[in-house]
Amino acid sequence: MDKSTREEIGKEVIKRLKEKFGEALIANLKEEEALSLDIIVRAFSNIIFDEREQLIKLGSKTQSRAFFNVGQTRVFMQTLLVANACKSLIESGKTTSIRSLYYSTKHNIGNTKENTFEEQGESNPIIEDIEVNINALREELHLRANSKGAMVGNLTIIDSGDEIDLRKMGSGGWAVPSIVEPHTIQFKKCDAKFVLFIEKDTVWGRFNEDKFWKKHNCIIVHGGGQPPRGVRRVVKRMHEELKLPIYVLVDNDPWGFYIYSVVKQGSMKLAYESARMAVPDAKFIGLSSYDQEKYTLPDEVTIKLNDGDKKRIKELLNYKWFQKKEWRKELESMLKKGVKLELEALSSKNIAFITDTYLPEKIERKEWLS
């Protein structure tokens, strides 16, 4: 994406900011109405599961945020303060972290000792409100989140103008940034046939050291546990733009299963971004609740479910996106056996079992869940 296209995106986002947080209030004043903003509700009560698109989405419920309401005055002020800071960022052509934005908007109000923000926990939700209400990615507001995750494989990319061959990234891989939009990251030469998303960086390290991506012509990526926005977005882009299948490899526990669902359907926290981050076609390739018996893993490598695990499994069983027969069998089997398995448990066969046998067999036999 060239500079002019990036500038056009910036102009469009600024236009939406002005319409939502400027012109709407000017209209209130002209009509002699109380100053207020209609803000889309970001709560579980406003989250829906779109059966047709297989995505977790945010509904259309709104709530008023009024200047003359004593309980809302502070957050009303904070909303306009952050919106204006984002507008200034875009106009400057610079990006910053959400932490830096918090400090740049924190100051005393007038001659009082009252601060605009007391902690970052107040400003972060405001950023999310703005994203939702002007339908823009945080990255389009020129804001960066913490970077986490790495990638290697048969792909060449352009990162901020620099050509990077992901086949030559050593043991650490290419660190996936939080901003991976086309104006920053472009895909160039791709020879890969699929993308393997791996939950843990330690397991990803096994796949990288064993050159799994080279032997099986793919791209391997991890998110360091729950994948951050940048990783989810780049996986989505590789699926859509490069037409690559996405396989997901996670622990056999409720937390691993939920990570898969986040990659596939989106998360409740970021329901408003599911369409731009989730991959409904993503395939779950392991670790299955039936793999202990199938691969004769010893009981010694299992871990007993604790009360938190059992509670989480029951929560997953109530989610609409876990109602398929195959998924209920997985979760109910885990609950019945009372144990969970980490990916590293496969090392009890041998260190390279997961890369030499387990994954290649599953892919060849198409043993996955969707």
Distance CA 286, CA 358 (A): 9
* SS3 state at 50: strand
Pure H helices in 177-300? 201-209, 212-215, 229-241, 254-265, 274-277, 291-294
Q: Walk along the chain (370 residues) and give the pLDDT tens digit of each residue.
A: 556 677 888 899 999 999 999 888 998 888 878 888 999 998 888 999 998 899 999 998 999 898 888 889 999 999 999 999 999 999 998 999 999 999 999 998 888 888 999 999 999 999 999 999 998 988 899 998 777 899 999 999 999 889 999 999 999 999 999 889 898 899 999 999 999 999 999 999 999 999 999 999 999 999 988 899 999 999 999 999 999 999 999 999 999 999 999 999 998 888 888 888 999 999 999 899 999 999 999 999 999 999 999 999 999 999 888 888 999 999 999 999 999 999 999 999 999 999 999 999 999 999 998 8
Q: Which domains does the chain possess?
A: 3-144 (1.10.10.10), 150-365 (3.40.1360.10)
Of the candidates 253, 272, 301, the one whose C-alpha atom is nearest the C-alpha of residue 57 is 272
Question: Residue 161 in contact with residue 3, Cβ under 8 Å?
Answer: no
Half-sphere exposure (CA, 13 Å, Cβ side) for 289?
A: 21
Catalytic residue among 103, 247, 319, 358: 103
Of the candidates 27, 179, 23, 10, the one whose C-alpha atom is nearest the C-alpha of residue 86 is 10
* 107: Cα separation from own chain's centroid: 31
At position 323, the amino acid (one-letter code) is Q
32: left (phi over 0), alpha (psi -120 to 50) or beta: left
Dihedral angle of Cα 304, 310, 313, 319, to the nearest 10 degrees:
-170
User: Facing residues of 121 across strands?
Assistant: none
Q: How far is CA 228 from CA 66, 95, 239, 267, in A?
A: 33, 18, 17, 11
pTM confidence score: 0.87
Q: Is 103 a catalytic residue?
A: yes
- Tell me if the bond preceding 287 is cis, omega within 30° of 0: yes
State the DSSP code for 356.
I
Q: Own/partner pairs for 289-293, CB < 8 Å, 24+ apart?
A: 289/252, 289/329, 289/330, 289/331, 289/333, 289/334, 289/337, 290/330, 290/333, 291/252, 291/341, 292/339, 292/341
